Amino acid sequence: MRLCEALKEYETLSLYRGHMPGHKGNPEYSFPETLVKYDITETDDMDNLHDAKGVIMESQQYASSLYGSDECFFLINGSTAGILSAVSAATVQGDEILIARNCHKSVYNAVVLNRLKCRYVYPKIISGVNICTGIDVCDLEKELNYNKGIRAVVITSPTYEGLSSDIAAITETVHKHDAILIVDAAHGAHFGFHNGFPASAVMSRPDIVIHSVHKTLPAPTQTALLHVNGSRVDRGKLKRFLSTYQSSSPSYLLMAGIDNCMTVMDEHGDRLFSEYLTNIEWFENRTSKLKNMTHMCRMLYKTEYSITDPDPCKIVISTVNSGISGKELYDILREEHKIQPEMAAADYCLIIMTIMDRKEDFERLINALECIDEKLEKLKKQSAEKTEKALKDGRYCCSLKNSKLMEAYEVLDDIGRLKPCQLTEAVGKISGSYVLFYPPGIPVIVPGEVISEETAAEVLFMMNKGLNVQGIGSSGEVMIYE
C-alpha cells in the first residue's frame, strides 16, 4: 500500500485524533477546509519519512521505478533540501568542489555550509539574449584536469530557460576523474515520460539527480525528489543530512501530493504529454508569425545554437529589436492581459506551460502576444531607437567572471569586517554578500569576489530595468569585506 491510499483508509477509521496537528482534522476555521482531514502526523501504520519502512517507502520505490533510479527520496523542503543534503553527503569540510557558475543560490549555500573550496565551470551564452546554455564537456574536462582535487561536481540541467547539457558525456567525464556528479534537474521532473520531451537526467546515471516535481508537474509547491544511482555516495550519510535539512514533522499532504503526482504520470502521462505537444506545436506555428518578438522555440535553439533537447514547456519570448524590454513585456502581460509570467529578464520574458494547461490557455497567451505585437508594429520607428539605446547600455549574464580572493565561507564567517557601501563605490572591493536576480536565483556576485566595474554596471542596468535584485539595500548599498 502506498501513501495516498493509506491516508484515505486512515480517514475511514474514525479514530479520535489525540495527536498533532492542532487543527485535529476539523474543517472549521481551517484552511484549506477540504484537505485538513488528510493532514496527519506519524501515527501507527503511517510510516516516517526519516525512517521509511512502510507506506512512504512503498511510495518512494514507486517513484524510483518510474524514473529508473536506484533509490528515490521524497523532499518536502523543496529541491533546496536535496541540494544541501547532496553536497553535504558528497564532500567533507575543506574539499574542492566544481560548480556551474549558473547554479542556484542553494548550491552556493551548500558550499558555504560545508566550508568547501569552490571552483567554477562557465556555461556557454546565447549572444543577443544572454541565455545560458548547457555545460560544454570539454570545458568541464579542462577544469577537472587543472584542479586535480575536485571531489564533487554540480551542474544545472535543464536550465531555468529549459536548455540541457549532455549528461551522459558529463557523467562519464566526472566519473573518469573519480568525482561525484550532482545534477540539479529541478526544472526537469517532467523529462522522460514521453519521447517528445528530453530524456531524464536520471537515465545517464549521474550519482545524484534532484527534481522539483512542483515546477512542471501537478504537485504541491515545495515538493521534490532526490534520486541516487550507484555506490559513490554514502547512502547512510545522505539520509542523515536529509533528516537534518528537512523538518522532523514532514507534511503528509505534501508527501501524498508527490505520490499522487507519480500515479498521474504513470496512468495518464502519455495522454497528457501527447495533448500538450499538439497544443505547443499549434502555439509555435502562431508565434512564428510575430513580427517584433521571437519565441525562442526548439527549432531555433537546435539550428542556431546546437543545443540538444530544449524543453517545450518553457516559453521564452525574446524582445530584442522589439523596442521594449523583457520586463516591459512581463508588465504588459500581467497588467493588460491578466497573464502572470514566470520571470522577466532584460531581453526576454519566460512563461511556463505544462501538461495542466489547456488549449484555451494557449489561445489566451497567443492572443495577448499578437495584440502586443500589433501595437509594437505601429511604433516600429520608436522601438528601433529604444533598442539601439538598450544595446549600448549592456546586459547581465552569468558569464561575467569576477576575480575571487577569498572563499565565500571565509568572508561570511568574519561578520565583523562586513560593511555597507554604495554599489557605485564598491568597484575593486571584496564583496561581503550575494547579489542575485530572483527569479531565477543565480548569484551575479558571490562573497569573496572582487566587484568589477563591468559587473557593477550590469547590476545597475538590471535594476534600472525594474528587475528584482536581491542583495542590494534600499539605498543602493552592497555589503563589502574590509
Q: What does pTM read for this prediction?
A: 0.92
Is the pLDDT score of 230 beyond 60? yes
pLDDT of residue 385: 52
Q: What is d(CA 341, CA 352) in angstroms, rounded to the nearest whole number?
A: 7
**Residue 421, domain CATH:** 3.90.100.10
The percentage of the chain sitting over the pLDDT mark of 70, rounded to a whole number, equals 94
- Same domain, yes or no: 251 and 330: no
**Which three-class secondary structure state does DSSP give residue 19?**
coil
> Which of these, 282, 348, 329, lies nearest to 132 by C-alpha position?
348
- The enclosing H or E element of 470 equals strand 469-470
Q: Model confidence over 386-432: pLDDT tens digits?
A: 544 444 344 445 667 889 999 999 999 999 999 999 999 999 999 99
Residues 139 and 280 in one domain: no
Mean pLDDT of 277-295: 95
> In this structure, is residue 280 part of a structural domain?
yes
- Of 266 and 308, the structure prediction assigns the larger pLDDT to 266
Same domain for 25 and 136:
yes
Are 226 and 352 contained in the same domain?
A: no
pLDDT (average), residues 368-386: 80
Q: What pLDDT shows up at residue 68?
A: 98
Task: Note the pLDDT tens digit of each residue in 452-462.
Answer: 999 999 899 88
pLDDT at 300: 65
- 360: pLDDT strictly greater than 60: yes
pLDDT at 174 over 50: yes
Q: Are 74 and 126 contained in the same domain? A: yes
Residue 464 has pLDDT above 50, yes or no: yes
Write down which residue in 264, 283, 310 finishes a domain.
264
Decide if 258 is inside a domain.
yes
Residue 400 located in a structural domain: no
Judge whether residue 83 has pLDDT over 80.
yes
- Strands 469-470, 435-437: pairing is antiparallel
CATH code (residue 337): 3.90.1150.150
Indicate whether 105 pLDDT > 90. Answer: yes
Mean pLDDT across 167-195: 97
Average pLDDT over residues 163-188: 96
- Give the mean pLDDT of the chain: 91
Residue 15 lies in a domain: yes
**pLDDT at residue number 381:** 57
Same domain for 276 and 252: no
173 with 311, same domain: the answer is no
Which H/E stretch holds residue 346?
Answer: none
Sign of the CA dihedral 441, 222, 204, 192?
negative
Percent of the chain, pLDDT > 90? Answer: 76
Do residue 214 and residue 359 come from a single domain? no
Whether 237 and 276 map to the same domain: the answer is: no
Mean of pLDDT values over 75-95: 98
* Domain span holding position 319: 269-392
* Cα dihedral sign, 296-298-300-302: positive
Q: Which of 145-154, 382-391, 433-442, 470-479 has the least mean pLDDT?
A: 382-391
pLDDT band at 12 (very low <50, low <70, confident <90, very high): confident
Instruction: Indicate whether 116 and 22 sit together in one domain.
Output: yes
Query: What CATH code is carried by the domain that includes residue 52?
Result: 3.40.640.10
The answer, yes or no, to whether residue 467 has pLDDT greater than 90, is no
Res. 438 pLDDT band, cuts 50 70 90: confident
pLDDT at position 304: 59
Query: Quick check: is 402 in a domain?
Result: no
Region 426-443 average pLDDT = 93
Assess whether 209 and 240 both reside in one domain. yes
Is 401 within a domain?
Answer: no
Long-range contacts of 414-420 (CB under 8 A, 24+ apart): 414/481, 417/481, 417/482, 418/479, 418/480, 418/481, 419/479, 419/480, 419/482, 420/473, 420/477, 420/478, 420/479, 420/480
Same domain, 44 and 141: yes
User: Number of structural domains, the chain?
Assistant: 3
398 domain-assigned? no
Q: How many CA atoms lie within 13 A of 337 on its CB side?
A: 20
Residue 399 lies in a domain: no
Four-CA torsion 384, 386, 387, 393, nearest 10 degrees: 150
